[in-house]
Amino acid sequence: MKKFDPATSLESVHELGAYNGVNQSINDSATFAFEDGNAMEACFHGEGGGAFLYSRHWNPTNYSLAKALAAMEGTEAAWVTGSGMAAITNAILQVCTAGDHIVATRTSYGGTFAFMKNWLPKYNITVSFVNTCDLEEVENAIQDNTKLIYTETIDNPMLEIADIPSLAKISKAHNTLLMIDNTFSPMIFSPAQLGADIVVYSMTKFINGKNDTTAGAICASMDFINSLIDLNDGTSMLLGGVLDTYRAANIHKNLYTLAIRMKQHSKNALDLANKFESIGIKASYPGLEKHPQHELMKATMNEEYGFGGMIAIDLETPDRASQFMALMQKEGVGYLAVSLGYFRTLFSNSGKSTSSEIPEEEQKKMGLSPGLVRYSVGLDNDMDATFEKIKKCYAMV
């Protein structure tokens, strides 16, 4: 069977816009007219036959982006949201109701952890946080009321790699759904092709690549996406969180450079990770042979796109991390800022920023060093010059 290629699949669904424009048209209508009252009534009953009703439900511009994302993932359908957290929370709340249980990775984005740890229990949805790299631990955590196994392909910020095919076997054996956050590795991994039921993204990051908006995506079966936007009980329809159409159009255009950008991010990150080691910086990067899941990643990734643009470096203490990052920003290496996937390098001390929602005792359990710097490698053209600046900064801490 021909191997799935996300970039080729994405390119195959590109359509001309209105008046044969090479880009998709922007439709900024919040509401849409019907020929008669019967047609409108049918739409409210889910019998619209593709008619557009209201932009919180569907909009032509958002629909075009969703079709492109579904093609990239190899899923039947997709839905776009106003942020990555909206995608995560909408998908989880569509699957789980009061009395249900989730098995989730112990290492995840801080906002995801806080939602599961602090918010879901208010509605009697319980979560067991486990090391999802330990398949036996995942299996043992499943209960009779488990509805969902949740993890990140490359987890934030430890950069551990999920064994998606094995997790998919466990989820199917226990009649649960497997949900994967693929934010760190679009195109590098195709989780749905490896057995995931639901794939979510913060499109704010690599997919858009410009850090000029927040956006999210949910890629899944047609039945699941339709359930999300059901007029009567669809989580996305009733909670809102729709993506603005102007932003959707911009992301759609940026999507077609994603393959090139991911290759360059990966190339630069591998180069830097090797160079970090040479000057004594402790670096974790899945492209290094010493990484615990290096071989697993090679066996499950779309190898053409590299090992990703994220490196975890350990400065041991928050003070050293802060000093190092401030020096790098001053030298023009990048910016001391949260987020990732930008064309400039971004870095932050995870335990004090994007993972700060995770209590310190939990950070220690997962092995998160207090001096860990999450390093999102940019699209620099001259990595030798960049490294010389980094080396100068590191010598000063």
Amino acid identity for residue 100 in this structure: D
Last residue of one domain, picked from the residues 205, 236, 255: 255
Burial-class residue 362 by CB neighbours within 10 Å (0-12, 13-18, 19+): middle
CATH of the domain at 248: 3.40.640.10
The torsion defined by the Cα of 228, 230, 231 and 235, in degrees rounded to 10, comes to: -20
Residues 126 and 99 in one domain: yes
Portion of the chain with pLDDT greater than 90, in percent = 88
Residues 322 and 217 in one domain: no
Residues 182 and 271 in one domain: no
pLDDT at 6 over 90: yes
Residues 81 and 100 in one domain: yes
**What tokens appear for 215 in the block?**
């956006």
Structure-token match 């551990």, residue found: 160
Q: Tell me whether residue 202 is in a domain.
A: yes
Last residue of one domain, picked from the residues 205, 230, 255: 255
Last residue of one domain, picked from the residues 212, 236, 255: 255
Q: Tell me whether residue 319 is in a domain.
A: yes
Residues 204 and 308 in one domain: no
* Cβ count near 116 (within 10 Å): 23
| Contact between 237 and 229 (Cβ < 8 Å) | yes
Residues 280 and 211 in one domain: no
Mean pLDDT computed over 369-377:
93
Q: Tell me whether residue 175 is in a domain.
A: yes
pLDDT at 229 over 70: yes
**What pLDDT score was predicted for residue 42?**
87
**What pLDDT score was predicted for residue 48?**
67
Binned at pLDDT 50, 70 and 90, residue 221 comes out as very high
pLDDT at 365 over 80: no
**What pLDDT score was predicted for residue 1?**
58
Q: Which residues pair with 179 in a beta bridge?
A: 150, 198
Closest CA to 309 of 271, 355, 255: 271
Residues 88 and 120 in one domain: yes
- Per-residue pLDDT reduced to its tens digit, 106-115: 998 989 999 9
**What pLDDT score was predicted for residue 335?**
98
CA distance 392 to 397: 10
In degrees rounded to 5, what are phi and psi of residue 354? Answer: -70, -15
Distance separating the N- and C-terminal Cα atoms of the chain: 53
- Per-residue pLDDT reduced to its tens digit, 281-330: 999 999 999 999 999 999 999 999 999 999 999 999 999 999 999 999 99
CATH of the domain at 359: 3.90.1150.10
pLDDT at 224 over 90: yes
Closest CA to 86 of 59, 54, 112, 119: 112
Mean pLDDT computed over 92-118:
95
| Contact between 111 and 85 (Cβ < 8 Å) | yes
**What tokens appear for 28 in the block?**
């900024």
Mean pLDDT computed over 375-389:
97
Q: Tell me whether residue 311 is in a domain.
A: yes
Residues 28 and 91 in one domain: yes
Taking all residues of the chain, what is their mean pLDDT, rounded to a whole number?
Answer: 94
DSSP string over 84-133: HHHHHHHHHHHH--TT-EEEEESS--HHHHHIIIIIGGGGT-EEEEE-TT
- Which residue range forms the structural domain that includes residue 172? 6-255
CA distance 310 to 303: 16
Q: Count of domains in the chain?
A: 2
- Per-residue pLDDT reduced to its tens digit, 269-281: 999 999 998 999 9
Q: Tell me whether residue 19 is in a domain.
A: yes
Mean pLDDT computed over 132-142:
98
What residues have CB less than 8 Å from 162, skipping those under 6 apart? 105, 132, 133, 151, 152, 153, 154, 155, 180
Binned at pLDDT 50, 70 and 90, residue 47 comes out as confident
Residues 250 and 315 in one domain: no
E strand segments, 190-265: 198-202, 216-220
**What tokens appear for 60 in the block?**
């032509």
Residues 174 and 118 in one domain: yes
Strands of 310-314's sheet, edge to edge?
A: 282-284, 310-314, 372-376, 346-349, 335-336
Residues 224 and 83 in one domain: yes
Q: Tell me whether residue 1 is in a domain.
A: no
Cα separations (Å) of 204 from 87, 192, 243, 295? 12, 21, 12, 29
DSSP summary character for residue 352:
G
| Contact between 201 and 73 (Cβ < 8 Å) | no
Structure-token match 């209590």, residue found: 359
pLDDT at 359 over 80: no
pLDDT at 50 over 80: no
Binned at pLDDT 50, 70 and 90, residue 44 comes out as confident
CA distance 269 to 306: 9
Strands of 216-220's sheet, edge to edge?
A: 77-81, 216-220, 198-202, 177-181, 146-152, 101-105, 126-130
Q: Tell me whether residue 309 is in a domain.
A: yes
Q: Tell me whether residue 308 is in a domain.
A: yes
pLDDT at 9 over 80: yes
**What pLDDT score was predicted for residue 368?**
80
Residues 28 and 163 in one domain: yes
pLDDT at 259 over 90: yes
